[in-house]
């Protein structure tokens, strides 16, 4: 910490704020991601994109669902919910 003024005893402190979750799309396709139960509030990730993830509804399950994004064909279904609080690798099937 450093003194701001010689006349006052005021100190400054630097605080860094970082997101808890970052979602990375390593697939070759554009994806839609959403919180379980809030699929209407989905976000899209282009191939190679990464984005911080915040839960739209803190009272709802903290699980993520994913589907392929295709503007010409909206028949893709949401994946089963993923618990991203657990570290590791998960496989999903996108239909």
**Per-residue pLDDT tens digits for 16-47:** 888 888 888 988 989 999 999 999 889 999 99
User: How many angstroms separate the CA atoms of 39 and 47, rounded?
Assistant: 20
Helix (H, G, I), strand (E, B) or coil at 40: helix
Average pLDDT over residues 81-85: 86
Token pair listed for 66: 């994913």
Q: Which residues contact 32 (CB under 8 A, 6 or more apart)?
A: 42, 43, 44, 45, 66, 67, 68, 69
Average pLDDT over residues 45-65: 91
Q: What torsion do the CA atoms of 25, 26, 30, 34 make, to the nearest 10 degrees?
A: -30
Q: Using alpha carbons, select from 79, 71, 70, 2 the residue that is nearest to residue 34.
A: 79
Average pLDDT over residues 38-62: 90
Q: What pLDDT does 2 receive? A: 59
Q: What pLDDT does 18 receive? A: 84
Helix (H, G, I), strand (E, B) or coil at 93: coil
């Amino acid at each position: 910490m450093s003194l701001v003024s010689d006349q006052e005893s005021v100190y400054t402190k630097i605080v860094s704020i970082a997101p808890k979750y970052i979602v990375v799309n390593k697939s070759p396709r554009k994806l839609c991601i959403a919180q379980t139960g809030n699929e209407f509030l989905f976000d899209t990730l282009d191939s190679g994109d990464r984005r911080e993830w915040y839960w739209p509804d803190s009272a709802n399950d903290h699980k993520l669902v994913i589907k392929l994004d295709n503007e010409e064909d909206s028949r893709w279904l949401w994946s089963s919910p993923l618990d991203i609080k657990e570290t590791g690798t998960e496989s999903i099937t996108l239909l």
